[in-house]
Structures are given as structure tokens and as C-alpha cells.
Amino acid sequence: MNRLEHTPKLVIGALNGHTVGGGLEIAMACDLRLACKDGGKIGLPEVTLGVLPGTGGTQRLSRIVGKSKAIELMATGALFSYEEAKDLGLVNDVLPKATFWNDVLAYAKQFVPPGKASKAVGHIKRAVCSGCEVPFESGLAIERELQQQLFQSEDAKEGLSAYVSKRTPAFKGS
């Protein structure tokens, strides 16, 4: 699951069906999570088995929803709806069942060329994920280093040129 978090690509979890226990632990390793309306329940009920969410669940849930709420959710073993998960910030959006897969694909396409500079998206992910694990000043240094790399990219040249020319950029992922 750490590999999901460390890949430079955005990892989008499409949740359709019950997402509990290890399934939620995998979903929490994704960068973004989209859920299907009325698609199932979500939660970490391991306490009802006498164990804890031991595949990163305790660490990831607390970082997503905060320490107190994470303890409450795991200690009760509660299962809840995707709408409640969205309110907690555990899922990014709940999409209609009838168009779920098409909506997931449309959502994902917004992060790639020609509309977005995919290298910049990957560096944003890296800056956030790496920066959250180190002191603030070190996070700023990581951000500066990644920004410097991006300024040398073809997509940055295209983006800045398009801005000056007042046109829509056409990114190529380079």
C-alpha cells in the first residue's frame, strides 16, 4: 500500500460495494476516493473481531479524519454510508449509481494532458505526501525543489506561454 502512496501518479479509488476492513485500508492508501451512491457501507470493524486495523488503517484513518474521530470510528467498529464518509472527508465524492463508472473516468481524465500537466500533478502529490511527513521548513524545501524541476519542463513553458497569450494550454506530459 505504501507503493500506492509513493507512485508519482494519482491513484483514484472507485468504491462500489462494501468497503470495510482491509478494503478500506487499501482505499485509504489511494490519493482520492470516489464512491457509488447506495453502493455499500464503509468502516473498520476489526474491533468486533478482537483485533485492530493492522495494515495501516490506524495511521491512515487518523491522518484523514483526525485523531479523535479515527479512535471513535475504530473503537466502535461502526459501519456507515458513503455520504457520511464524504462528510468526514474519507471519500471525495459520492457519484450516481447509473453513471458511476463513466463519472469516475471523466473525473480521472481531468488530471492528465491535454487539460492538465501530469508532471505537475505528480509533483503536487509528492510535495504533499513527502511534506506532511517532515517539519514545515523541510516541506517547503521539497516544494521548492519540485517547483524548480517543473520550471524546466516543456509543460511549464507551454502553460506560461498560454497564460501570456491568453489561450488554453495544450499539455503533453513532458
Active site residues: 25, 46
**Alpha-carbon span 76 to 43, nearest angstrom:** 10
| Cβ atoms 78, 90 nearer than 8 A | no
CA-derived radius of gyration, the chain: 19
Beta-carbon count within 10 A of 20 CB: 19
**Nearest C-alpha neighbor of 74 from the set 84, 62, 86:** 62
**Nearest C-alpha neighbor of 170 from the set 126, 118, 103, 102:** 118
